[in-house]
Structure 1
């Protein structure tokens, strides 16, 4: 999946085209790569599923150039940050301060700032290149 995410960044920068056959081949592999809650009891299973959903939404956006598909990817990334913030602090779902705790959690703050940077880049009409995308791209994670 990491390689496919790298490919999507290249497509976004205009450095590569999205090949429909390549896309279909990758999507067929996802069923094997994405963990199933029935098979894994790790607390990271949900995060892996969420990350896969973000990648699927980003792929849909790259394939369609649809603003709606792009916003779905952003929404899913925010939902992933929400869940990770709750799980990392063992937040209780009935806590009256839950939303504020999630909003101020460092993981959510990072995601909110990243999405604000993406919107600012798009609103400015900046040409999407590898250089301009570097300012909004999350740091690479070790594989």
Structure 2
């Protein structure tokens, strides 16, 4: 499983794996305890694959941030999200030196590190897995215009 089907549900702790879509919402399974819940369409849900982190040069996908953490930690766990704010910011600066400190809050860093450690404990995040999940854009070959003779 890749992070393509991993969800963060507002108001619910932890992360969830998307299991089944229904007419009125979907069924998700908690990565913490394995319990299945039904989620309505009105719930605020985010796919991890759609989340980005602000940098001074634009935005970086969360999967790229996870890859940078996995490379730094050699596929091991990151520091705890419960460390003090200065330690968290310094650690995140090592991982993502260009992150926009005005738009990325300490609460965001805590959430990212907590998510990474949750996924890493389940074996869903590693340097090799995340690089394989990233979409590759093949160069588009343009045909030369045909001329009538």
Q: TM-score, normalised by structure 1?
A: 0.23
More strand by share: 2
Q: TM-score, normalised by structure 2?
A: 0.23
Rg larger in structure = 2
